[in-house]
Amino acid sequence: MRGRGTILGGIGLWFAFCPQAYASAWNPDPWHGEIISGYVYASADTAKDDFGQTVSLDIYNKKIVQTYGNMGLTPRLALIGTFDWQDTQIVGPGLNTRFSKPSSISAGLQYQISRREGHATALALSYVDGIDLPDALLTLESRKPTIELRGLWGESRTIWGRNVFAELQGAGRVTPGGEFASSHAQFTLGFEPLPRIMLLAKTHYTDIEPGVFERLDIARQSRWGIESSVVYRLRKRDYLELGYTTTLEGRSAVLERGWKIGLWRKF
């Protein structure tokens, strides 16, 4: 199908900006892959506390630089990995923090369960290190190393001469000791109104179990957000993405709103 390459590129680019989910259900061919780099700037006036109540923030600014890569090893197996760097300032009730450091590193393998014209399913297993951050509000990554198992399902169609796709992902993370750490879910829709332009919309939800971090008790965290994006194909293997993201509801989480830009390169 003519548009499948464009659709797959858009999917990969889209997931580059959600720290919990990067890969799409379509694995790259052997010794082919992609490198995706993105920049996100977010701000906020409010957050949700441990009880889900709204609290005001005096200052909240977050900048994230993210990189995702994958490469096909066999017709069914691909190598995947991510690296995120976060620079954040937060000032509010009982909070006054500024830091700049890595916030997440992951590496793993993705197995292609099924793949045919317009359809794909996959299963990914990754090691995720949510590097220590000074406050629970600042990240929804696990605060200790975890193992993630992720299921991916995708469908693409040509409707009235235009490419359309949908993708559903669900994941769970456990600590190396077997303790359940977090769950993640997201649903994405994409539409290609013009040959070089794709419109994307996504909703995502994350829930992290309570635990102990730096000798402090951390309450359960959750976040529900939506994102919208426009992807433009610069050349055959290069894409540019501009998008907007916002957190609608949560617990122990900042209600962020922000903009993002990304570049995707297929090799």
pLDDT in tens, 190-214: 999 998 999 999 999 988 877 544 4
pLDDT value for 218: 58
Contact 46, 93 (CB under 8 A): no
Mean pLDDT of 68-92: 93
Contact 168, 190 (CB under 8 A): no
Range of the domain at 248: 4-266
CA 51/CA 26 separation, integer angstroms: 39
Check pLDDT > 60 for residue 82: yes
Check pLDDT > 50 for residue 35: yes
Length of the chain: 267
Q: pLDDT band for 160, please (50, 70, 90 cuts).
A: confident
Contact 266, 70 (CB under 8 A): no
pLDDT value for 211: 58
Collapsing DSSP to helix, strand or coil, 127 comes out as: strand
pLDDT value for 212: 44
User: Which of 97-106, 118-127, 149-158, 194-203 is predicted with the least confidence, judged by mean pLDDT?
Assistant: 97-106
Check pLDDT > 50 for residue 5: no
Whose tokens are 């995706």? That residue is: 36
**CATH number (domain holding residue 211):** 2.40.160.40
Mean pLDDT of 71-96: 90
Mean pLDDT of 52-81: 93
Mean pLDDT of 15-19: 35
CB count in 10 Å sphere of residue 140? 24
pTM for the full predicted model: 0.83
Two tokens, residue 7: 């659709």
Domain count, the chain: 1
pLDDT value for 219: 67
CA 254-259-265 angle, to 5 degrees, is 120
